[in-house]
Amino acid sequence: MRRLLACGLAMVLLVSCQREADGKFAELSGRMFVFNYRVATANYLVTLRKTAPLPEGAYAEAEFENPEGGAPFVVRQTLFPVMEKIVLQSPNLKCVKKDRPYSVRIRLVGAGGEPLQTIETSITSDADQTIMPSKPLVVGPLYTPNPEVFHADGTADYGKEDNCPA
């Protein structure tokens, strides 16, 4: 019986060592653009599913391609042992084009700065950002119509600005 228990324990330890050795702490579970027409914003949203325990003090760093050109957006998220899902969201974007893939690079990093895992992917929008108003349609916590868009005389100005590179 002891021998059987020892073999079982050895198998469990071997399997858990194998899981950590492959360097895969998380896997991509979702990626998309989020267009919020009410407040006139667009963002990248990426989710990861944790596949192995992360060390204490680890963090995720996402580098999102800037649709306007220029330097990429970098977002850092502290990771906690109780997290089963990691959610990374970019700052507000401008100039998102339909059917164009935008690159995203995610690094999981240990507390001491050592790289744990890198995930590279892309996100393609099925809508062009020109469908969005340039100003928020509502303001405040009660979704009050924005007076800069909806005028007292009953007219509306959705202000389609397109200062984006071709």
Q: Does an H or E element contain 63, and which?
A: strand 59-64
159 within domain boundaries: no
- Residue 161, in any domain of the structure: no
Instruction: Give domain status of residue 18, yes or no.
Output: no
Rounded distance, CA 52 to CA 49, Å? 9
d(CA 69, CA 1): 66
Tens of pLDDT along the chain (166 residues) come to 555 444 454 444 444 444 444 669 999 999 999 999 899 999 999 999 999 999 999 999 999 999 999 999 999 999 998 999 999 999 999 999 999 999 999 999 999 999 999 999 999 999 999 888 989 999 999 989 999 999 999 999 887 766 787 6
Where do we find the tokens 């099925």? 126
Q: What confidence score (pLDDT) does residue 17 get?
A: 44
Is 162 within the bounds of a domain?
no
Tokens of 73: 């957006």
Token pair of 68, please?
A: 């306007």
Neighbouring C-beta atoms of residue 39, cutoff 10 Å? 15
Q: Is residue 17 part of a domain?
A: no
Cα–Cα distances in Å, from 87 out to 14, 62, 84, 106, 127? 31, 10, 10, 11, 22
pLDDT on residue 5: 46
CA 39 from chain centre, in angstroms, equals 19
Is position 89 within any domain? yes
Domain extent at residue 106? 24-145
